Chains A and B, each alone.
Chain A
């Protein structure tokens, strides 16, 4: 099972993001740079390790790709020039495309939030969590 999943996820990842997780040598600079690791159940470099090993179902359960704020700090610091933000987006998209519902929509917002949030936050939030 692991093998076929690995082929699918990693192949799609390589093609769509141009990133090969196998180029990562697990130095964990990305995890040191990431500003939101406190809320993550897997550290960014561990996500890559899981990708290398094809642990797709564990990645599907992890909150890390959903916590990732696409701040691009990991990519800026990676000595292997890997763009982890793209891989995180890849995992999110695989999940969103594979599953039925959206993760977050207008109905999840309070009237107060709708009043105050900048339009940019609404558009980007819906883009990240919806398909």
Chain B
């Protein structure tokens, strides 16, 4: 299984370990993720006003670079932007014409745009994954935290049931963890309000963490670097039992029996081979 891979800026910065753990796990699962050449930041937010065409240039350039072949990303925000930009290109002919003319590319909304979790569920299959697991996370009580961007708007994202998703719980099951379901798993963490309105993010995040803790979780998984930042930095946690936050890929890599030094090496090797390609 071979896919184009769009990392996005955060995966090369604060969320490097989401990339290195995914790459190592993917290699062990026989999934090849080939980084797109000369990619650019997706823009991080999808423009909700349809005359904001400038902000579409970057995601559409990325979509066109995949040439209709499957395109995978890891960051929930990148996936959200790419998927919605694709849907706009399919639906709004005027926007498509303006954007593709400006970029001088041919693109009409073709190609599968996937989050890596969808690759695991739909292409590899969680049953197959479960068979390949080397070190099941037995006895680890983990809750999934979805947040917003993978699920909503569900008509466009078509990722999972927006009110009762199961994909991350199914992943946790496949890697042998004890799944904890917490009622606030699809609530917003406050997103970039942690930058401008800290009190608001403190409120949203504290509710999410408390609800996971009360449900019996020791840890949470997420697919979004901003969710992770907020969950780790914004909750009011005085004297409470700490909750660890992981990227889903960290636990996946662990269950595949990959050690941290192996992960570092595989990241370095990839860096070397991509430097060699240039």
Interface SS majority for chain A: helix
Please name the residue on chain B nearest to A123 by beta carbon: B44
Q: How far is the CB of B41 from chain A (nearest CB, A)?
A: 6
Most chain B CB atoms below 10 A, which of A67, A120, A121, A128: A120
A127 contacts chain B at the CB level, 8 A cutoff = yes
B229 contacts chain A at the CB level, 8 A cutoff = yes
B136 contacts chain A at the CB level, 8 A cutoff = no
B194 contacts chain A at the CB level, 8 A cutoff = yes
For A56-98 the 0/1 string (1 means CB < 8 A from B) is 0000000000010111110110000001011001100100000
**Cross-chain contact of B44 among A75, A109, A120, A129 (Cβ < 8 A):** A120
B153 contacts chain A at the CB level, 8 A cutoff = yes
Please indicate the chain A residues that have their CB under 8 angstroms from the CB of B75 in the complex.
Answer: 120
Please name the residue on chain B nearest to A90 by beta carbon: B49
Contact A117 B195 (CB under 8 A): yes
The CA-CA distance from A118 to B45 in the complex, in Å, is 14
Q: How far is the CB of A113 from chain B (nearest CB, A)?
A: 7
**Cross-chain contact of B190 among A69, A116, A128 (Cβ < 8 A):** A69
Most chain A CB atoms below 10 A, which of B9, B14, B44, B192: B192
Contact B45 A124 (CB under 8 A): yes
Please indicate the chain A residues that have their CB under 8 angstroms from the CB of B267 in the complex.
Answer: none
Please indicate the chain A residues that have their CB under 8 angstroms from the CB of B203 in the complex.
Answer: 36, 38-39
Total contacting residues, chain A, CB less than 8 A: 37
Please indicate the chain B residues that have their CB under 8 angstroms from the CB of A116 in the complex.
Answer: 14, 229, 233
Q: How far is the CB of B198 from chain A (nearest CB, A)?
A: 10
B276 contacts chain A at the CB level, 8 A cutoff = no
Contact A18 B226 (CB under 8 A): no
B275 contacts chain A at the CB level, 8 A cutoff = no
Please indicate the chain B residues that have their CB under 8 angstroms from the CB of A72 in the complex.
Answer: 148, 152-153
Q: How far is the CB of B207 from chain A (nearest CB, A)?
A: 8
Please indicate the chain B residues that have their CB under 8 angstroms from the CB of A119 in the complex.
Answer: 9-10, 13-14, 41, 225
For B50-63 the 0/1 string (1 means CB < 8 A from A) is 11100100000000
Contact B55 A127 (CB under 8 A): yes
Please indicate the chain B residues that have their CB under 8 angstroms from the CB of A52 in the complex.
Answer: none
The CA-CA distance from A75 to B200 in the complex, in Å, is 20
Given A83-B153, A123-B43, A124-B191, verify A39-B49 contact (CB < 8 Å). no
The CA-CA distance from A85 to B149 in the complex, in Å, is 13
The CA-CA distance from A105 to B69 in the complex, in Å, is 38
Please indicate the chain B residues that have their CB under 8 angstroms from the CB of A127 in the complex.
Answer: 43-45, 55
Q: A85-B48, A89-B47 are in contact. List 10 more A-B contacts (CB 8 A).
A: A36-B200, A36-B204, A38-B200, A71-B148, A89-B49, A104-B196, A116-B233, A119-B41, A120-B75, A125-B195
